[in-house]
Amino acid sequence: MKVLVAVKRVVDYNVKVRVKSDNSGVDIANVKMSMNPFDEIAVEEAVRLKEKGVVTEVIAVSCGVAQCQETLRTAMAIGADRGILVETAEELQPLAVAKLLKALVDKEQPGLVILGKQAIDDDCNQTGQMLAALGDMPQATFASKVEVADGKASVTREVDGGLETISISMPAVITTDLRLNEPRYVTLPNIMKAKKKQLDVFKPEDLGVDVAPRIKTLKVMEPAKRSAGIKVPDVATLVDKLKNVAKVI
């Protein structure tokens, strides 16, 4: 069984982005880019399934600019067997990415597609569910535990107020939550090995997908700033402030 893993190149989670002065977006020139952390968890999970012998091949896919090849090399250093880049300079929104992935699912016929539950740049939380719908596949989002056996995946999901376990027939889509696993550190030998792995490049046109954005960003603003508070010297003053100034208790 093959597994397809989708990885997105995003601004590194440690970078605090700045809004551009013309309010057209955030400034991502010269900032550190990394693999979306949830996608790293997705790659790790796919590689672990391969190590358990459940999966025969792990294919990493990224959609976006040419530099996404670096993100794919990272996925291959974690252990993905090969990479596919769908290269375009167009702004890609989740529906477009889901359509590109659907085209690749049709081509590769994986038993599972694993994605991060959300990207930390646009915070959309859509692509996995959209892909599942387009492919008429069942979905298990926000996974904290995955077990695969007999053509089914048993997935424990993080839901409001606790955990929920569902069983889905494969092919299926899984999106990862934070506690699914802890991705391994990539080692230098594995980085070197990853450079030699196969990486195919397609254009959206090759896959017959129209990626035109549906949602237009009119402007991007700084959020309202909280006015600076005060330091209180002791607990008694804190209680007094909460009672008599903030009046919240």
Round to whole Å and give the CA distance between 124 and 196.
33
Residues of span 60-89 touching another protein by CB under 8 A: none
- Spatial CA neighbour of 167 closest among 194, 186, 148, 188: 148
Look at phi and psi of residue 136 and say left if phi exceeds 0, alpha if psi is from -120 to 50, else beta.
left
- Spatial CA neighbour of 180 closest among 162, 156, 148: 156
* Contact status: 190 vs another protein (CB under 8 A): no
Stated length of the chain: 249
Residue closer to another protein by CB (options 89, 230) is: 230
Residue closer to another protein by CB (options 206, 213) is: 213
Residues of span 134-173 touching another protein by CB under 8 A: 134, 137-142, 144, 154, 157-169, 172
- Spatial CA neighbour of 175 closest among 77, 86, 98: 98
Query: Which of 179, 193, 195, 203 touches another protein (CB under 8 A)?
Result: 179
* Contact status: 230 vs another protein (CB under 8 A): yes
> Which positions from 88 to 127 touch another protein by CB under 8 A, shown as an x/- string?
-----xxx--x------------------xx-xxxxxxxx
* Contact status: 41 vs another protein (CB under 8 A): no
* Contact status: 26 vs another protein (CB under 8 A): yes
